[in-house]
Structure 1
Amino acid sequence: MRRRELIGLLASAAACGSVPALAQAPRKPVVALVLTGISRAETTGPDPAFAPARAFVHELRDLGWIDGQTISIERLSLEGNPQRAPELLADLVARKVDVIVLGGARWLHDAALNATRTIPLITLFQDDPVAAGLIASFARPGGNLTGVAQTTGPEFFRKRLQLLKEIAPRVSRVAFLGPRGVLEQDRQVEALPGVAIVPVPVDVVEQLGAAFDRIRQERADGMMVAGSAITYAYYQRIVAFADENRLPTIHSGRESVLVGGLLSYGTSVPWVFGRMARLTDRVLKGAKPSDLPAERAATFELIINTKTAKMLGLEVPPTMLALADEAI
C-alpha cells in the first residue's frame, strides 16, 4: 500500500473514532468524601492519617476503585464549621459528582438533603435514621440517602450506662456528652435506679469548652460520651478532661481507651467507614440508594483500661474483665 493511501486510511479511521490510541479515555467516577471535625490534611494520600478515611480509601481500593486510576476521591472537610456546608455541597451538586459520602453530623445530613435529592448520599448515622425522618425504613430507605447506623438506639445507651455503673458503682449523676440530635432522640434511655442523666450537647468544637464547664457546674460524677464527628475528632481532649477531673467515663471508641480513657463500648468507626465504602461500590455499580438497605452496626467492642481504673480507685469486676474484648 502506498504511503499516501495509508495516511488517508488512518485519517479516516481517526475521524470515525476507531483508532484505540485516539479514543477518549473513559470518565472516572467522582466520589466526594465530606467530613466535619477533622483537618483535611489528615484525609489525604493513599494512606490517610485519619483512620476512618483510611478505612474508606483502602476498602474501595480492595474493591477495585483506586484513587487516581479507576476513581477520583475528593477528600473534603468542613473542619468544624457548619456554615460552610451549603456552599461546599452546592459546588459538588453543580459539578454532578457521582456519590457524596458524609460524616456523621446530623446537620451535615440535613444540608446534603437540602442540596440534592438526586445525587446518591452515603452516610454514618449517629442515631436512628428512621426515627429522625432521614429514611423511610432500613430495608427500603426510599430516597437518595442510605448508610450505616452506629448504634442500635436507646437500648445501646442503656447498655453503656449499665457498664459504667458496673465498673463505678458510686456514680449517681452522669453527664451524657454528644450531639443535640442524639441526646434528644435518646431521652428515651431509661435511667438506672439511683442514676440521673444530665444531657450536655456539643455539635461543634467551639462548644466543647462550655460543655466541660457545664459538666463541672452540674457536679456530674460520671460521664457517657456519644459517638459523633466531634467526640471522635477530639477524643484526646475529652479523655484529658475526664482524667483531670477524675470522672469515670465510658467512651465510644477504642482510641479513647488507648490514650487513658477508662472504658469504651461501641462499634469501630473505621469499620463503619469500610461498610460505607461497600455501599458506595454498589451505587457505582448501578444500585439506587432508595433500594439499598441501610445497615446497623452488628458487633460492639468492650475495651477496659485497667491502669486508669486503678488511678480512679476502681476495681474492675472479674466478670467484666472476662467479657472484655481487650484489657489495657
Structure 2
Amino acid sequence: MRIVASLTSLSLDDELTRRNMSDGNTTSRLGGLIAGLKQRGWVEGVNYRFEIRSTFGGPDKLKSAVQELIGLKPDVILTGSTIETAAMLGATRTIPIVFATANDPVGNGFVDSLARPGGNVTGFTSSTAEMGGKWLQLIKEAVPDIARVGVLYNPATTPRAGRFFLDSVEQEAAAAGVGVVPAPVSAPADIDAAIGRFAEPPKAAMISLVDSFLVVNRQAIVAAAAKYRVPMIYPFHYFMDAGGLMSYGPTLEVRSADYVDLILRGTKAGDLPVQSPRKYELLINRTVARTLGLTIPFTLLARADEIRE
C-alpha cells in the first residue's frame, strides 16, 4: 500500500477544503488528484492510501503537521503553498515533494532551475512577479480616478515578504501616476483596520497578493472591503466565491496527478521540470461593482472570462 500525503494551510473544516475533497469534484485540487490517480490505475484504499494534514493554527501546528506526515513515511507529499513547501524541505531532503502552487521556486531555493529542479522537489508555479503590475493595470482600469493603491499581504506568508510582487506593482504605478501604500497584516485581527485605512480620501483601491494567509482569511477580507467600500482585486477565484469584486490569476489546472503517478512509478522528482500556468482568467462581479458605485468599462468587461451578477 503506497502512501500519498498532502499538506494544506486551510482548516479541514474550511468550506473550500470540504468542497475540494468532496466526491466527484474533479475540478478541485485534491478531488482532481484522486480522480487523476484513479485514471492511471491508483485506487484509494486498494493500492494507495491518501493522508492529509492541516497546518492551520500557527507555527506549532505547521511543525506538528509536517512531523506527522514525515512519520508516515509517505511515497510522495503534495504541498499547497510556498510556506508548506519550505517547511517540508526543512524536514526531509529524500521524500519526493510536489508543490501544487508555489511562487519563485528558484528564488526560494526549492529547485536549482525550472527545467532541471534537482533534489527531491518539483511542481507547479502559480504566478510570475509581473502579475503585480497586471493587477495594478486592471484595478486602475476598473476605477480610473484612484490616486493610490493599497497592497494587502502578510510578510510571513507571501513570497519574499511581499517584494516578489511589489516591485512590479510600484513600477506600473509610477507609470500610471498612482501612489503605492503597502498594507502588511500579520493576524486576522489586523485585516479590518488595514482595509479601513483606504476608505478615506484620496481615492484608493487595493490589491490582494498571492498569500496563503489571505486565502485562509478570504471571508474577512472581502467583508471588510465591502464594509469600507474599497474596490479590491484578488489573485484567485476563491475570493470571488466569497463575494469579491474582481480577480485575475491562473486558471486552475489539476495536473499534479501526472507527477504523483510518475513518482510512484519510480521517476525522481528532481528530474521533472517545474511547470508554469498555461492560461490566466479575469473574473468580474458586476453586482458587487454596482454596490461600490462603480461602472465597469465595457472594454474591461469584454475581456473578462466570466462576469458574475
TM normalised by structure 1 equals: 0.81
Aligned to 2:89: 113
Deviations 1:147-167 (A, max 9, x none): 1110022x1121111000000
Q: Structure 1 residue 98: deviation in Å? A: 0.4
Distance 1:103 1:246 in 2: 31
Aligned to 2:211: 228
Q: Cα distance 1:162–1:54, how it changes in 2: closer, same or farther (>3 A)?
A: same
3-state SS of 1:111 partner: helix
1:156 paired with 2:135, answer no
1:89 paired with 2:66, answer yes
Aligned to 2:257: 277
- Could you tell me which amino acid in structure 2 is paired with residue 159 of structure 1? K
Q: 2:141 aligns with which of 147, 152, 166?
A: 166
Distance 1:80 1:126 in 2: 21
RMSD value over aligned CA atoms? 2.4
Q: Cα distance 1:174–1:59, how it changes in 2: closer, same or farther (>3 A)?
A: farther
Q: 1:72 aligns with which of 38, 49, 74?
A: 49
Deviations 1:1-50 (A, max 9, x none): xxxxxxxxxxxxxxxxxxxxxxxxxxx21011111123257365645799
Q: Structure 1 residue 101: deviation in Å? A: 0.8
3-state SS of 1:101 partner: strand
- Could you tell me which amino acid in structure 1 is paired with residue 147 of structure 2? S
Q: 1:195 aligns with which of 178, 193, 214?
A: 178
Deviations 1:71-116 (A, max 9, x none): 111021122323223333233333321011112142x222211110
Q: 2:283 aligns with which of 280, 292, 303?
A: 303
3-state SS of 1:142 partner: coil
3-state SS of 1:174 partner: strand
- Could you tell me which amino acid in structure 2 is paired with residue 167 of structure 1? A
Q: Structure 1 residue 145: deviation in Å? A: 1.2
Distance 1:91 1:129 in 2: 24
Q: Cα distance 1:90–1:260, how it changes in 2: closer, same or farther (>3 A)?
A: closer
| Aligned-pair identity (%) | 32
Distance 2:57 2:153 in 1: 14
Q: Structure 1 residue 213: deviation in Å? A: 1.4
3-state SS of 1:296 partner: coil
Aligned to 2:121: 145
3-state SS of 1:323 partner: coil
Aligned to 1:291: 271
**How many residue pairs are counted as aligned between the two chains?**
293
Distance 1:44 1:309 in 2: 32
3-state SS of 2:302 partner: helix
Aligned to 1:177: 152
Distance 2:22 2:37 in 1: 14
Q: Structure 1 residue 251: deviation in Å? A: 1.3
